[in-house]
Amino acid sequence: MIELTSLLDRAIEALLASAGDRIGAPYLLGALVIASIVWWRHARGRRSWLAFLFPKTIWWHRSARLDYALLAVRTLLDLTLLSALAVSSTAVSFGVARALWRYVGILPDVHVSQAWVIAGFSIAAFVAEDFARYCVHRAAHRIPAFWELHKLHHSAEVLTPFTIFRVHPIEGLLNAGVAALAVGVVAGIVSWIVPGKLAAWTISGIYALQYVWNVLGTNLRHSHVWLSYGARLEHVLISPAQHQIHHSSDPKHHDRNFGSALALWDWMFGSLYVTRERERLSFGLWGEEPHHHRHVIAALTQPLWRALRRLVPSMRTNTHEQSADVSVLASGASPAWRQRASTPHARS
Ligand SMILES: [Zn+2]
Ligand SMILES: [Zn+2]
């Protein structure tokens, strides 16, 4: 029991840390190397390496500067709110594992080598976490109040690796909590099947997969560098180009490619968009006023206020409600919500 608790603690710690590490030196270096290869193959001779990778119009854009400010906020929150959440997630995850022992029973001894336990747990946890993130992301586009929070991420007009921090803290908490829960459930199931085989350091298997994935250019998904994996591989893995498609303001790209690492979920549930050729994209909220959030305070409070208005009917007068819906329809509404809002049953 103690070992499992310690394991779950480390799992959650690892997840929270890995989110924050997305701009860690090895990952940025990996992105730099891959982006340099893209420059060498496609832009060498037309633009200098420096101008290709670090255009001032992107890195010093108003939208990018807001991302840097949100990084500071995120760092502060990591030290307070996220660590508090980690404790409760541990308790929930541990409860799931304990329920298996209590209500399903203790399984007969299974002889599995430590290597297989590590491999099995690492892959299962990676897949479970990725699926959990897919579900949360899809819900963020589907549920109007949640979309108000998620719009902050989509309001980025330029993409840099720091756009990963342009996520509302409440969405960040939800993402981290659901991901930690997914890993905790997998850890519980594995501990139930092969008690005592899942040592705390096994969790490093997740690290290894995440590490490799992140080094292989995850940071380029939030960048101006177009990197496609080709149509076949993009049915399995989300390429940087596919995530850039997700950020595109073009209606034909809306509500596509919700996946984090695996494209399989998008493929299975009909939201996949594979890239065939280089596409010229513009980012930001469609139809929204061009500068949705002018400063960090607005970026944190406006989404919250708008989400509350969607959740609490008494916060909206009839007039306000109508105008809010009109503004949602005319502005950065998720297509899924826009479609629902335009039907007679939309507000039921
Ligand atoms: Zn999204
Ligand atoms: Zn994004």
CA–centroid distance, residue 122 to ligand 2 (Å): 25
Mean pLDDT score of the chain: 78
Average pLDDT over residues 292-312: 85
Give me the pLDDT at residue 229, please: 93
253 Cα–ligand 2 center, Å: 13
Q: How far is the CA of 92 from the centre of ligand 1 (A)?
A: 27
| pLDDT value of position 159 | 95
CA of residue 258 to ligand 2 center, whole Å: 9
Q: Determine the average pLDDT of the residues in 36-64.
A: 90
Determine the pLDDT at residue 176.
81
> How many other CB atoms are found less than 10 A from the CB of residue 20?
17
Mean pLDDT of 119-142: 92
Higher per-residue confidence, 160 vs 100: 160
Q: How far is the CA of 121 from the centre of ligand 1 (A)?
A: 28
- What average pLDDT does this structure show over 12-40? 72
Provide mean pLDDT across the span 292-299: 79
What's the CA-to-centroid distance between 272 and ligand 1, angstroms? Answer: 13
Q: Lowest-confidence range among 155-169, 253-267, 278-292? A: 278-292
Tokens of 338: 């826009």
Q: From the CA of 246, how far away is ligand 1's center (Å)?
A: 7
Comparing CA positions, the residue from 329, 303, 249, 324 lying closest to residue 281 is: 249
Has residue 1 got a pLDDT over 90?
no
Cα 162 to averaged position of ligand 2 atoms, centre (Å): 10
| Alpha carbon distances (Å) from 113 to 52, 117, 194 | 49, 6, 10
Q: Report the alpha-carbon distance of residue 172 to residue 153 in Å, rounded.
A: 11
Closest-approaching ligand to the CA atom of 221: 2
Ligand 2 center–CA 154 separation, angstroms: 7
Q: What is the whole-number distance in angstroms between the Cα of residue 85 and the centre of ligand 1?
A: 23
Tokens of 191: 């501990």
Sorting pLDDT into bands at 50, 70 and 90, what band is 279? Answer: very high
Higher pLDDT, 139 or 186: 139
Q: How close is the Cα of 226 to the center of ligand 2, in Å?
A: 14
Give distance in angstroms: CA of 114 to centre of ligand 1: 38
Position 55, amino acid: P
